[in-house]
Structure 1
Amino acid sequence: MALAPAARMGLAARGRIVSGPTLLRAAAGVRSWQPPCPRAVAGARMASGSMRVSRVASKGSGAAPSLEAKKKMAGQSVTSLAPQALGMIVPGTFILPQLAGFPKPLGDKLRFLGQWILVKFQEVVSNSSIKWSSKPTFFTRAQLKARRSTLIPTAKALHRSMAEALAAGDKAAINRICSQNLAISLCASIDSRPAGRRYGWELVSYTRRLFYPSIRSHRMSPLGMEKTAPIVRQVVVAISSRQRRVVYDKDGNVVPGSEKEMEVVENVAMGCIIDPRTWQQSEWRLIGTVKPTTYDGWAQEKKALAELLKSR
């Protein structure tokens, strides 16, 4: 959320991001993020994306789960694992930037656009493969329901609810609608606020309606090689809005100069967990916001992913 300046609103934790390549190297021991299973089509490789996690999250989150932890997880409903499983942006998430974000050389522009087209093709093939695998028989309907028409309204509702809860300091609401990592980060930012300060936030209007909101990425990726491995479904929706924020002192008066109105574009990522045994999915939760992909960043992340897969 671009409620700038973040530090003055106690939102500094929201800007604590680990870059994709760094996180890929840190995730070398994480067994929960495996290359796509055979159902997801061999060509749909998982290139590393802009993966956002909080530095406030536990440093041990990158450790491979123990045997006892795996047994405990196996005894739980797959969809109940959503808060813990949705800890990062799915590798391979490609958010096409505006034209100003493209590289200047024409050749690089074309290659960058070609990479985006390839990623979108892989998304379609992978998602279609997973949906096809939910068909009990060849002539029956798929049990997995995409319901794409609900994705944008859901993202808008979660985006607004999270911003209001953050401004109000409502930790219960944050824990209810956010992934575990994001919730830890936002609750830490609430705890770091100066005593006696209150914050207000308001969504004035949605802007640039011709282009926003729009779905920028829609990925489904298994968390393991097993046939019954949970599947992460992640959607990134670009939202353009005009927002107003204000800071109040302990007496309830507006802090001079704190009331500001700004127009921002945010790539809001939300996710859920699909149980491949029943094809039921958990409630949607916010994962974070994603920066547009850059030409150099994409090349570095592809290289980091190749090194990670080679080491395994």
Structure 2
Amino acid sequence: MTSPFAAAAAAGRIISHRPTTIGILSRRSPCRLLLRPQTRSITDMERQTRQMNRSMARMDKLEAPQPSMRTGQTNAMLEEVAELLLPSTFVTPPFFRRPSIFTETRDRIKFEWVRLKIKAQDLVSRYLARLWHSDPFIRKDLIPSAEALHRNMYTAYARGDIDSLSRICGRDLYHTFRNRIVSRPSNVQFSWKFSGYNSRSRVMSHKVGMLGQGKGDENSIRQAVVRIDSTQTLIKGVDGKVVKGTGEPTRTVEYIVLSKRRRGGVPESPWVVWGTVTESGMDEIRAHGIPPQQGDSTVSGSGGRWNR
């Protein structure tokens, strides 16, 4: 059995930092439905990476725990890793938001090279999951699961259904939704309606983080990013009266992150919503050579239509 410290070291190699806030990503929408994404600065990410490396170095020097302690500690670390975004999560923007091949040729070449490199790494991670864990290489349940969870999550959040959210959302996202529901005034009501999809949902990223040391060690995290372009309507009521400015159908593009985990000897967990991520851009590629490991897993609550 792999020691918890070996698992922690492996986790340190695939995890970059804890994300901060979730939001519905609607850059092209006339109004934000829920949230505004917040991005860590490069300095903050470098500082957190150094802290993670120092923590891993200290753990490597500790004496190994007794066998009776290993299972519980390994499971606790796996729970913690499940709430982090896997590194090099690349969300390709549309062609018109990529660097121009005519005026920014060098940047465009670099952008496409990084995109292809990370796509190849994702394919390798999925191939290893198939080789070691007998997982399907292509998950046919990805898009149907993302669309169903997307609709159920916002419907439950609007009506304040905390029990349903506990089954739909990851730990951090659930606690944030729960706190906002508990603090919602009793005279405020929300109604969320789904009108339809404006285009087919697409899988933008699909990768597996292997926490074990080889075949037979089945601790892993699977994450996927699905682009959902839909028309939604949010109605807010106060004392039974509709608030002006709500109730208008809004086209919203979101990059929903799904996550599931596998423990040794335990069947793979169902998909849950981890949060959202933004499209990858050139600033991060220039700074790191790869896109940042940024994302949103909690509600920011600033400037969103839910707070009107």
Q: TM-score, normalised by structure 1?
A: 0.70
In structure 1, the residue matched to 2:38 is 17
Alignment of 1:167-178 (within 5 A): 167-178=158-169
**Alpha-carbon distance in structure 2 between the residues aligned to 1:289 and 1:128:** 25
Find out whether 1:186 has 2:207 as its counterpart: no
**Alpha-carbon distance in structure 1 between the residues aligned to 2:202 and 2:123:** 17
Find out whether 1:98 has 2:91 as its counterpart: no
Find out whether 1:245 has 2:245 as its counterpart: no
Find out whether 1:282 has 2:269 as its counterpart: yes
In structure 1, the residue matched to 2:110 is 111
Cα deviation, residue 109, structure 1? 1.1
**Alpha-carbon distance in structure 2 between the residues aligned to 1:26 and 1:176:** 30
Identity fraction in percent: 25
In structure 2, the residue matched to 1:234 is 223
SS of the residue aligned with 2:229? strand
Equivalent residues of 1:84, 1:180 under 8 A apart: no
Cα deviation, residue 114, structure 1? 1.6
In structure 1, the residue matched to 2:187 is 196
SS of the residue aligned with 1:189? helix
Cα deviation, residue 223, structure 1? 3.4
**Alpha-carbon distance in structure 1 between the residues aligned to 2:69 and 2:237:** 46
Query: Any gaps of 5 or more consecutive residues in structure 2?
Result: 1-23, 293-308
SS of the residue aligned with 1:15? coil
Point out the more displaced range, 188-197 or 222-231.
222-231
Of the three residues 204, 213, 235, the one matched with 1:216 is: 204
SS of the residue aligned with 2:107? helix
Closer, same or farther in 2 for the Cα pair 1:91/1:20, shift >3 Å?
Answer: farther
In structure 2, the residue matched to 1:148 is 139
Any idea what the Cα deviations from partners look like across 1:219-254, whole Å, max 9, x if unmatched? 00123657736211001111110001110112x221
Find out whether 1:300 has 2:300 as its counterpart: no
Any idea what the Cα deviations from partners look like across 1:22-47, whole Å, max 9, x if unmatched? 3463254448x99xxxxxxxxxxxxx
Equivalent residues of 1:162, 1:174 under 8 A apart: yes
Amino acid at match of 2:155: E
Equivalent residues of 1:231, 1:274 under 8 A apart: yes
Equivalent residues of 1:166, 1:174 under 8 A apart: yes
Cα deviation, residue 127, structure 1? 1.4
Query: Any gaps of 5 or more consecutive residues in structure 1?
Result: 35-62, 135-142, 306-312
In structure 1, the residue matched to 2:131 is 132
Q: TM-score, normalised by structure 2?
A: 0.71
Cα deviation, residue 193, structure 1? 3.4
Equivalent residues of 1:83, 1:285 under 8 A apart: no
Amino acid at match of 1:26: Q
